[in-house]
């Protein structure tokens, strides 16, 4: 990560349009408002997506107490985001301790002793990912396409702004766990007394009581919405590839980041072409005369028909390579090849003249297979054929 990246980063508070003394709740509300304003689905402006990412990055840091306080002290260098520690040569730690957020032992102590002194704020859950299948044409897989897909997903309820309460009021803290979402209990073991925490059953671990639920989402904070999303399918994509659309999954139930949408690609079969990685395969049907004599032909490619010279004496099953008529690699400009496999089509019905010509050919050509000797020799059959 270069120094320019760090220098070019905007202040996270400025990004979220809050003051440095903003409360966690103020930051959350501002994040929601901005995320909705700049969500690429809802805002077609070209800079919206970049802005949306910036908002999410800022929120990821400022919504986490530890990371926020490191950021307050050391700026972007300590935020743990791209452009952070990587900016120091050799990854050196200029602050003299292992982690910018405090003692590296803190977590270990908490694990063993149940966080006796600190009550960590709950980290918001990320929204669920969603899976969508997108069927595209063979040509679209080669050249890329813009496709609209419909997704149904849970989004933050607009009536309550996700607070789950009528008109977006703040829900009161749960009276059982006093807002922590955890119920702590001392447990006696042979090793001594341990403190254990379990999610509060009164509030399902959310720490709040929904005393006056929002009527639109029935107190859930999220509602199902069907949206049309435009997917840019890159040229060269192949069957079963999966595209990730960051932040296009379901909204978080508690103010965290949205999940991702994964679009699995299914390529519809083509009547003529098949594909193996970057190589396109197609059959080329020619008659026996063309195979024997050679011909000037047009061969179908994914770019349209191209001139092709079939050489004299072409065998059934023989393959020819058309350079650069295959699929591109994703993100690359060079293309694979097309391989054409010759199918020699033997006529099923002959006119009298054709039959005579073949019979003459039969006399003149050497047979590759041994003939039946006896009464009906090869030549007697030829004579039969000529006797019309």
Cβ atoms of 188 and 203 within 8 Å: the answer is no
**Dist. CA 272–CA 166, nearest whole Å:** 60
User: Which of positions 77-96 make contact with Zn ion (CB under 5 A)?
Assistant: none
Q: Which residue has the tokens 């901005």?
A: 34
Q: Given the complex with Zn ion, which of 176 and 241 has the nearer CB atom?
A: 176
User: Which of positions 237-276 make contact with Zn ion (CB under 5 A)?
Assistant: none
**Dist. CA 124–CA 137, nearest whole Å:** 40
User: Any idea of the CA torsion for 204, 209, 211, 216, to the nearest 10 degrees?
Assistant: -60
DSSP sequence for 149-202: EEEEEEEE-TTTTTS-BGGGPPPPBPTTTTTSSEEEEEEEETTEEEEEEEE-TT
Query: Which segment (61-69, 216-224, 273-281, 296-304) binds Zn ion by CB under 5 A?
Result: 216-224
User: What are the residues whose beta carbons fall under 8 Å from the beta carbon of 179, sequence distance 6 or more?
Assistant: 173, 207, 208
**The pair of three-digit structure tokens given for residue 309, joined into one six-digit string:** 């010279």
Q: How many CA atoms lie within 13 A of 42 on its CB side?
A: 14
Query: Which segment (60-68, 77-85, 196-204, 284-292) binds Zn ion by CB under 5 A?
Result: 196-204
Cβ atoms within 10 Å of 120's Cβ, excluding its own: 13
> Residue 268: what are its φ and ψ, rounded to 5°?
-70, 145
Query: Which segment (84-92, 215-223, 296-304, 379-387) binds Zn ion by CB under 5 A?
Result: 215-223
Q: Given the complex with Zn ion, which of 197 and 279 has the nearer CB atom?
A: 197
Residue 160, interface with Zn ion (CB under 5 A)? Answer: yes
Residue 200, interface with Zn ion (CB under 5 A)? Answer: yes
Q: Given the complex with Zn ion, which of 176 and 297 has the nearer CB atom?
A: 176
Cβ atoms of 169 and 88 within 8 Å: the answer is no
| DSSP single-letter state for residue 371 | P
Residue 217, interface with Zn ion (CB under 5 A)? Answer: yes
CB of 94 vs Zn ion, minimal distance in Å:
42
CB of 178 vs Zn ion, minimal distance in Å:
8
Residue 174, interface with Zn ion (CB under 5 A)? Answer: yes
Give the count of residues interacting with Zn ion (CB under 5 A): 12
Residue 202, interface with Zn ion (CB under 5 A)? Answer: yes
Residue 208, interface with Zn ion (CB under 5 A)? Answer: no
Q: Given the complex with Zn ion, which of 198 and 242 has the nearer CB atom?
A: 198
Residue 210, interface with Zn ion (CB under 5 A)? Answer: no
| DSSP single-letter state for residue 117 | S
Residue 141, interface with Zn ion (CB under 5 A)? Answer: no
Residue 167, interface with Zn ion (CB under 5 A)? Answer: no
Query: Which segment (73-81, 208-216, 358-366, 372-380) binds Zn ion by CB under 5 A?
Result: 208-216
Q: Given the complex with Zn ion, which of 81 and 160 has the nearer CB atom?
A: 160
Residue 242's DSSP bridge partners are 264
| DSSP single-letter state for residue 237 | -
Q: Given the complex with Zn ion, which of 11 and 216 has the nearer CB atom?
A: 216
Q: Which residue has the tokens 């119920």?
A: 183
Q: Given the complex with Zn ion, which of 128 and 176 has the nearer CB atom?
A: 176
- Single out the residue of 99, 159, 279, 318 in contact with Zn ion (rule: CB under 5 A): 159
CB of 182 vs Zn ion, minimal distance in Å:
8
Sign of the dihedral through C-alpha 237, 240, 242, 248: positive
CB of 65 vs Zn ion, minimal distance in Å:
20
- Single out the residue of 15, 132, 203, 267 in contact with Zn ion (rule: CB under 5 A): 203
Residue 136, interface with Zn ion (CB under 5 A)? Answer: no
The torsion region of residue 294 among left (phi > 0), alpha (psi -120 to 50) and beta comes to: left
CB of 39 vs Zn ion, minimal distance in Å:
18
Per CB under 5 A, residues contacting Zn ion are 157, 159-160, 174, 176-177, 200, 202-203, 214, 216-217
């Amino acid at each position: 990560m270069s120094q320019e990246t760090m220098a070019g980063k905007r202040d996270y508070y400025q990004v979220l349009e809050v003051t440095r003394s903003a409360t966690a709740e103020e930051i959350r509300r501002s994040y929601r408002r901005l995320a909705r304003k700049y969500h690429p689905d809802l805002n077609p402006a070209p800079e919206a997506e970049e802005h949306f990412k910036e908002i999410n990055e800022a929120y990821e840091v400022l919504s986490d107490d530890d990371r926020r306080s490191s950021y307050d002290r050391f700026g972007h260098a300590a935020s743990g985001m791209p452009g952070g520690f990587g900016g120091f040569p050799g990854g050196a730690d200029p602050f003299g301790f292992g982690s910018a957020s405090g003692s590296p032992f803190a977590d270990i102590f908490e694990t063993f002793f149940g966080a006796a002194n600190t009550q960590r704020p709950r980290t918001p859950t990320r929204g669920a990912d969603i899976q969508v299948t997108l069927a595209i044409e063979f040509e679209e897989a080669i050249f890329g396409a813009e496709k609209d897909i419909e997704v149904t997903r849970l989004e933050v309820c607009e009536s309550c702004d996700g607070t789950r309460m009528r008109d977006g009021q703040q829900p009161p803290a749960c009276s059982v766990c006093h807002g922590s979402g955890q119920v702590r209990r001392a447990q006696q073991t042979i090793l001594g007394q341990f403190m254990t925490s379990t999610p509060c059953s009164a509030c399902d671990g959310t720490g709040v009581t929904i005393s006056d639920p929002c009527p639109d989402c029935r107190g859930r904070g999220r509602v199902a919405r069907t949206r049309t999303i435009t997917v840019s399918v890159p040229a060269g994509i192949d069957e079963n590839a999966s595209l990730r659309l960051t932040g296009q999954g379901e909204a978080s139930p508690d103010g965290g980041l949205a999940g991702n949408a994964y679009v699995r690609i299914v390529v519809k079969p083509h009547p003529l072409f098949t594909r193996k990685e970057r190589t396109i395969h197609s059959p080329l049907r020619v008659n026996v005369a063309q195979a024997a004599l050679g011909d000037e032909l047009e061969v179908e490619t994914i770019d349209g028909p191209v001139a092709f010279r079939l050489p004299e004496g072409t065998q059934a099953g023989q393959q020819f390579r058309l350079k650069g008529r295959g699929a591109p690699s994703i993100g690359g400009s060079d293309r694979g090849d097309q391989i054409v496999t010759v199918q020699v089509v033997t006529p099923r019905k002959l006119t009298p003249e054709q039959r005579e010509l073949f019979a003459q050919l039969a006399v003149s050509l050497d047979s590759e297979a041994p003939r039946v000797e006896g009464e009906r020799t090869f030549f007697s059959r030829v004579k039969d054929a000529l006797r019309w």
